[in-house]
Structure formats: C-alpha cells, structure tokens
C-alpha cells in the first residue's frame, strides 16, 4: 500500500478506533434504501498561519478541522449529512439522515478493497513540521527586509505564511477505500508604496504541495517580496486605462485565469448534464480558434491544483478539454459521469467533509503555440498588454466572464508603452476563444496562488498559458 493510504488509514480509522466491520455497518445503513451510489468521506486537517506586519510577527493561528461526510445518491437525487465526530454512533446517525433521500429498498454492499494504488504526486508529509518555528519566522522577516530595502518608497509590508496538512479517506459503495495525504503551503507578500502623497499596493506570492523549504529554494520567498514591490511601483506610474474594444495581449502564466473563467467552468460536467452552460451539447464542435488546445491536468507533481486522487477516490488525469479548437471533453465527478454515460475524469472535488463533491478544475492551461512573445506584441498597433490579474468571474449560462488586470500596459505601434491602471476585461467565453489569433511558445504556469470558488466552496487550483493575442476584447478603463 502506498504511504499516503497507510497514513490515511492510521489517522482516520485507527486513531478514532474504527475498524472495517464498523465501517461496513455505516455503509450498510447508507445502502439500506434503493440508492445508486454512496460514499463516506473522512477528513483530518491541521492548518497553521502566520502574519508579519509593521516588521513584527503579529499573529499566528492554528486550526483543527475533522469529520466525515456521508452521501447517498439515487438517480439525480442526493442525500447528505456530516458530523464532526468520528464516533460510530454519530456516523450511523448521519448515514440514516443521508439515505432518507431514496425510496425503500436495499442495495447490496461489496467487499472492501483498497482503491487504485497510483503514484503519489506529492510527499505524504505534514508541512506544518517541515520547518522549525524560528525558521518560518526568519523567512518572513527576511522577506520583510527584502521588500523594504528594495525601494525607499515602500511604507508597509505584510507577509503571510500558511501550511495545511490534509488527510482524507473515502470509501464508496463498491467497497473501494482510497486515502491521500495532501500538503499545501502558501506564502504572500503585500506592500504599500508611497510617492508624493500617492499610494499604491502590490502583492505577489506562491504555493505548492511541498514542504516549506520550497520558499527557501531558488530564493522564491525573496522573489515574491521583490515582485510585490515592482508591481506596486509600476502601478504608481499607471495612467487611466482605455475603455472600449481593443486587441489584448495576455502575458504567460497567471493570465491563464482567462481559460479558467472563459471556458473552464463552462466545461464542468454538472452544468452540462443540466444543460445550463453556454457549452452544453457542443462536444465535437469548434468552440475556439484552431490554435487553442486546453487541458485540465491534475497530475503535475507538487502543484497547488494537483491531486493524486480526487475526493471520490478517482485518480486524477490529464484531460484534454479543447483540442485545436474542437471541444473534446467535459470534466466529471462520478455522479455526473454516471448520469451522462461517460467515465469520471478525476475532477470530483469538495472543500471539506462538510460539503458535497462536484466537478471542479485542477490545473487548467493552454498548450504552447509557435509565435515568440515579442512577435505577438509587435503585431499590435494599439492595444493592451495585460500581465497580472486579480480574480475573475463567469456566468456560465450566458458565457460572460470578467477578469481584472492589476498590471497592464498600453501597446502602441507594436511596442509596450506606459502602464495603465487596473482595468476589468469582459467578454463572452465561446466568442473570445475564437478570437485568439496568436499563441506564444512560452507556456508557463502560475506560481501556485489560485483559489476557485463555486457554489460557496473554495478549492486550490492552478492555471497557465503561453502569451496569447485576442483580436478584440472589451476593456473597462476610464479613458473613453
């Protein structure tokens, strides 16, 4: 058995004193009605966070979250209950509440078997212990100093460091039991700069499913500090952004949030089963320019959006969503896959035991094209070059999506000119994807900062893309 499975069983079954016979009783109760599928999801999480502000370690916090979520599915109906106690009695009560969704009947249970033993994509460690406390605080103090010495205009620095240790175990009605240990770390540096009474902010950071040494390697933590200062200083110089339709060149990496919003959500299985997405019923159709191949890949080792197995025990995969502009696949969890008559794709995710799983993205990115980035910028007479973004949002039904730039420049006569203030870009996903006319050869992924929200549930994700050009996109500046 792989190490993550061994640790998950020890943490979530042995420690609370649950054995396979008791687990079987809980599953039997879930299955004592006419249900099509059922699962029990156990979770144990520890999270630690630190905040440095005003040059001092101002706050630290430790969180414990544990419990089990029990689900019974009958057709398109789902019954769900959860408990923060892993005692047998509470689990049986929750199973009784969850199964009430289904009609009277009986569903046979199968013998318990270990889930697929897939190679681990990240180490089965507790990242809270991956550095000593004094080393964690030293890292934050050094980042603070790095930002302050980078430029005298830096007035405030806030550094945060978070480590999360998440152990999960999921058992389904086929008897399959799969476990995983998921480290997740995140560091962020935020600065306020001031010049002639004008203030601006900048922030930068990164994260991964790695031990905290990750921030010491390759000078990453200090890099975030310098990048935050650089961004804030760029924005001090920024002039009002234009308003209206313009050619837009998006930089590589984090601007891949475009794909996440413009196509990613619209390709999640639940919306397509229900027919509520602008992409519903369009498999096999041209939905993007032939230059576009977009994948959702949960198998990248150590990345924030990666998962060895998803929250239903399905191994993650590298799923092609759009190939040369043609829509190939939706992202699925087990329930939507079953109802749509396809295989699950390893995209069944949930925020915690207290939330229901649904199809979610992992790391979504576009494969590289053949243009070099300079060539792409040189092809634009008058347009916008956007390289950093805040968040985005999409209305999957109408296809409208927005994302807000926090570092952008005007392109004039094929050259990057002055920086412009954060402008929101808005478009229609399926339409914008067909207007992608150049794709760079410089694919990169974001630094590990993405969090995706859907129906009130947050999960860590990754995005990426090469430099690309959209012929026309509405830019929401103030300079009409």
Partner 1 sequence: MTDPQQIARLKQVVDDLLKEAREQGADTAEAGVSAQTGLSVTVRLGETETIEHTSDNGLGITVYFGHRKGSANTTDLRPDAIRESVAAACRIAKYTSEDPAAGLADPELMAKDIADLDLYHPWELDADQATEIARHCEDAARAIDTRISNSEGATLYTQRSAFVYGNTHGFIGGYPTTRHSLSCAVIAQEGDDMQRDYWYDSSRLPDELDSPTSIGERAAQRALARLNGRKLGTRECPVLFRADIAPSLLRSLFGAIRGHAVYRKSTFLLDQVGERIFPDWVKISEDPLRLRGAASAPFDNEGVATQYRELVSDGVLQGYLLDSYAARKLGLQSTASAGGVRNATISDTGQSFEQLLREMDRGIVVTELMGQGTNLVTGDYSRGAAGFWVENGEIQYPVEEITVAGNLRDMYQKLAGIGNDNDIPGSIRTGSWLINGMTVGGD
Site track for partner 1 across 72-91, x = CB under 8 A = ----xxxxxxxxxx------
User: ∠25-172-350 over CA atoms, to 5°?
Assistant: 120
The region of 64-72, 106-114, 204-212, 314-322 touching partner 1 under the rule CB under 8 A is 64-72
Binding mask 17-56 for partner 1 (x = CB under 8 A): ---------------------------------x--x--x
Copy the structure tokens of residue 41: 């999801």
Site membership for partner 1, residue 397 (CB under 8 A): yes
Question: Is 245 near partner 1 (CB under 8 A)?
Answer: yes
Residue 285 burial (CB count, 10 A): 11
Distance (Å, whole) CA 348 – CA 84:
22
Distance (Å, rounded) from C-alpha 40 to C-alpha 68?
Answer: 7
List the beta bridge partners of residue 166. 45, 182
CB 386 within 8 A of CB 426: no
145 binds partner 1 (CB under 8 A): no
Binding-site member from 20, 395, 441, 471 for partner 1 (CB under 8 A): 395
Q: Is 61 in the site for partner 1 (CB under 8 A)?
A: yes
The 3-state DSSP class for residue 107 equals coil
The region of 70-78, 111-119, 314-322, 437-445 touching partner 1 under the rule CB under 8 A is 70-78
Whole-number minimum distance, CB 288 to partner 1, in Å? 17
Span 266-285, contacts to partner 1 by CB under 8 A: 274-276, 278
Label residue 67 exposed, middle or buried (CB < 10 Å: 0-12, 13-18, 19+): buried
Q: Which is nearer to partner 1, 320 or 340 (CB)?
A: 340
**Exposed (0-12), middle (13-18) or buried (19+): which is 111, by Cβ within 10 Å?**
exposed
Candidates 244, 281, 290, 453; binder of partner 1 (CB under 8 A) is 244
135 binds partner 1 (CB under 8 A): no
Site for partner 1 in 167-226 (CB under 8 A): 192, 194, 199-201
> Whole-number minimum distance, CB 327 to partner 1, in Å?
16
For residue 458, state whether it binds partner 1 (rule: CB under 8 A): no
The residues facing 404 across adjacent strands are: 424
Does residue 392 interact with partner 1 by CB under 8 A? yes
291 touches 467 (CB < 8 A): no
| Residue 263 found at the interface with partner 1 (CB under 8 A) | no
For partner 1, the closer CB: 52 or 439: 52
User: Count of residues binding partner 1 (CB under 8 A)?
Assistant: 77
CB of 375 to partner 1, least distance (A): 27
CA dist 300 and 173 (Å) reads: 29
Residues with Cβ within 8 Å of 272's Cβ and at least 6 positions away in sequence, in order, are: 279, 280, 281, 330, 336, 340
Site for partner 1 in 278-317 (CB under 8 A): 278
Does 100 engage in binding with partner 1 (CB under 8 A)? yes
275 neighbors 306 (Cβ within 8 angstroms): no
92 touches partner 1 by CB under 8 A:
no
């Amino acid at each position: 058995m792989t190490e993550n499975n061994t640790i998950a069983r020890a943490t979530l079954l042995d420690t609370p004193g649950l054995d396979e016979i008791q687990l079987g009783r809980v599953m039997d109760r879930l299955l004592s009605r006419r249900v099509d599928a059922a699962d029990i999801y156990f979770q144990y999480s520890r999270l630690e966070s630190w905040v440095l502000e005003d040059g001092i370690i101002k706050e630290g916090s430790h969180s414990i979250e544990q419990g089990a979520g029990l689900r019974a599915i009958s057709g398109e109906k789902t019954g769900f209950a959860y408990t923060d106690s892993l005692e047998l009695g509470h689990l049986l009560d929750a199973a009784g509440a969850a199964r009430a969704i289904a009609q009277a009947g009986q569903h046979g249970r199968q013998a318990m078997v270990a889930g697929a033993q897939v190679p681990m994509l990240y180490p089965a460690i507790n990242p809270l212990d991956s550095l000593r406390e004094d080393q964690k605080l030293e890292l934050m103090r050094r980042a603070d100093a790095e930002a302050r010495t980078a430029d005298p205009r830096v007035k405030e620095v806030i550094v945060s460091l978070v480590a999360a240790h998440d152990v999960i175990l999921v058992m389904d009605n086929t008897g399959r039991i799969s476990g995983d240990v998921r480290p997740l770390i995140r560091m962020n540096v935020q600065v306020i700069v001031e010049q002639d009474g004008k203030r601006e902010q900048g922030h930068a950071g990164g994260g991964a499913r790695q031990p905290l040494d990750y921030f010491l390697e390759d000078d990453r933590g200090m890099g975030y500090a310098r990048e935050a200062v650089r961004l804030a200083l760029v924005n001090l110089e920024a002039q009002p952004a234009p308003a209206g339709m313009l050619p837009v060149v998006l930089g590589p990496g984090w601007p891949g949030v475009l794909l996440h919003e413009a196509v990613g959500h619209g390709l999640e299985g639940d919306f397509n089963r229900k027919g509520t997405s602008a992409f519903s019923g369009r498999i096999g159709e041209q939905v993007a320019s032939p230059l576009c191949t977009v994948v959702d890949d949960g198998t990248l080792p150590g990345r924030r959006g990666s998962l060895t197995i998803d929250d239903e025990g399905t191994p993650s995969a590298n799923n092609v969503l759009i190939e040369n502009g043609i829509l190939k696949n939706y992202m699925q969890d087990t329930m939507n896959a079953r109802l749509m008559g396809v295989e699950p794709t390893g995209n069944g995710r949930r925020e915690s035991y207290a939330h229901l799983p649904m199809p979610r993205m992992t790391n979504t990115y576009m494969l590289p094209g053949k243009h070099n980035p300079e060539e792409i910028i040189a092809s634009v007479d008058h347009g916008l070059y956007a390289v950093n973004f805040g968040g985005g949002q999409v209305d999957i039904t109408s296809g409208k999506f927005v994302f807000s730039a926090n570092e952008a420049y005007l392109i004039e006569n094929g050259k990057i000119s002055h920086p412009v203030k954060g402008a929101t870009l808005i478009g229609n996903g399926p339409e914008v994807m067909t207007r992608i006319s150049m794709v760079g050869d410089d694919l990169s992924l974001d630094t590990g900062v993405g969090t995706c929200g859907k129906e009130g549930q947050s999960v860590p994700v990754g995005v990426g893309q090469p430099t690309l050009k959209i012929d026309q996109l509405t830019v929401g500046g103030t300079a009409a």
